[in-house]
């Protein structure tokens, strides 16, 4: 069973409720873009944190 808040569940709900295929396609595209956008923001934050930690470790002042 799909999580009620998952993007896939939203798509399934739209498919069940939406009769106009073009409108449905637009909605699915928007949902997917929103989901990837949020995931990309999270990944960017993780990458930035890791980059800062690596730079900190590479700094000669902090080496053991």
Q: pLDDT of the chain along its 64 residues, tens only?
A: 667 777 777 777 777 766 677 777 788 888 888 888 888 889 999 999 999 888 888 777 765 5
The parent domain of residue 51 ranges over 34-64
Q: Please give the C-alpha separations between residue 8 and each of 3, 13, 32, 64, in angstroms, as whole numbers.
A: 8, 9, 9, 49
Domain assignment present for 14: no
pTM, 2 dp: 0.47
Domain assignment present for 55: yes
Domain assignment present for 7: no
Domain assignment present for 44: yes
Within its chain, how far is the Cα of 41 from the centroid? 7
In total, how many domains does the chain have? 1
């Amino acid at each position: 069973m799909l999580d009620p808040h998952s993007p896939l569940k939203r798509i399934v709900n739209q498919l069940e409720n939406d009769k106009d295929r073009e409108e449905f396609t637009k909605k699915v595209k928007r949902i997917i873009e929103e989901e990837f956008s949020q995931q990309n923001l999270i990944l960017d934050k993780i990458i930035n944190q890791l980059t800062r930690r690596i730079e900190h470790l590479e700094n000669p002042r902090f080496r053991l």
